[in-house]
Structure 1
Amino acid sequence: MKKILMAEDEENISDFVSRGLRNFNYEVTVAADGDEAWWLLEKENNFDLVMLDIRMPGLSGLEVCRRIRDAFGYRTPVLMLTALGTTNDIVDGLHAGADDYIVKPFMFMELMARIEALLRRSGANTERVMTCGDLKLDIASHQALRGDRTIDLSIKELRLLQYMMEHEGEDLSRRQLLKDVWDKDFDTNTNVVDVYVRYLRQKIDADFDAKLIHTVVGTGYCFRKNENS
Structure 2
Amino acid sequence: MKILVVEDELRLARLLKKGLEENAFAVDICHDGEEGLYMAETSPYDAMVLDVMMPKMDGFTLLSRLREQNIQTPVIMLTARGEVESRVKGLNSGADDYLAKPFDFAELLARLTALIRRSKGQPASQLCIADLHIDLNAKTAGRAGVNVPLSAKEYAILEYLVMNKGRVISRTELSEHVYDMNFDLDSNIIDVYINRLRKKIDKDHPRPLIQTRRGEGYIIVEDP
2:96 aligned residue? 99
Task: Determine whether 1:110 maps to 2:107.
Answer: yes
Could you tell me how far apart the structure 1 residues matched to 2:39 and 2:45 are?
Answer: 10
List runs of 5+ in structure 2 lacking aligned partners: 124-224
1:201 aligned residue? none
Structure having greater relative contact order (Cα 8 Å, sep ≥ 6): 2
- Amino acid across the alignment from 1:56: M
- Amino acid across the alignment from 1:34: G
Give the C-alpha shift of residue 116 in structure 1: 0.6
The answer to whether the 8 A contact 2:80-2:102 is kept is yes
Could you tell me how far apart the structure 1 residues matched to 2:113 and 2:80 are?
Answer: 21
Which structure 2 residues correspond to residues 1-229 of structure 1 after superposition, within 5 A? 2-44=1-43, 46-74=44-72, 76-124=73-121
List runs of 5+ in structure 1 lacking aligned partners: 127-229
TM-score for the superposition, normalised by structure 1: 0.52
TM-score for the superposition, normalised by structure 2: 0.53
- Amino acid across the alignment from 2:106: M
Give the C-alpha shift of residue 43 in structure 1: 2.2
Could you tell me how far apart the structure 1 residues matched to 2:29 and 2:71 are?
Answer: 22
Could you tell me how far apart the structure 2 residues matched to 1:24 and 1:6 are?
Answer: 15
| Aligned-residue identity in percent | 41
Deviation by residue 1:26-71 (Cα, 9 ceiling, x = unmatched): 0000011101101112222x10001110000011100111011111
Deviation by residue 1:155-201 (Cα, 9 ceiling, x = unmatched): xxxxxxxxxxxxxxxxxxxxxxxxxxxxxxxxxxxxxxxxxxxxxxx
4+ aligned runs moved over 3 Å, structure 1? none
Deviation by residue 1:50-100 (Cα, 9 ceiling, x = unmatched): 1110000011100111011111343x1011011110100000101100000
Say which SS state the counterpart of residue 53 (structure 2) adopts.
coil
Number of aligned pairs? 123
Distance change (3 Å), C-alpha of 1:111 and 1:125 = closer
Could you tell me how far apart the structure 1 residues matched to 2:122 and 2:78 are?
Answer: 27
RMSD: 1.3
Could you tell me how far apart the structure 2 residues matched to 1:87 and 1:32 are?
Answer: 25
Could you tell me how far apart the structure 1 residues matched to 2:71 and 2:111 are?
Answer: 21
- Amino acid across the alignment from 1:28: V
- Amino acid across the alignment from 2:91: L
1:218 aligned residue? none
- Amino acid across the alignment from 2:118: R
Could you tell me how far apart the structure 2 residues matched to 1:106 and 1:114 are?
Answer: 12
Distance change (3 Å), C-alpha of 1:125 and 1:15 = closer
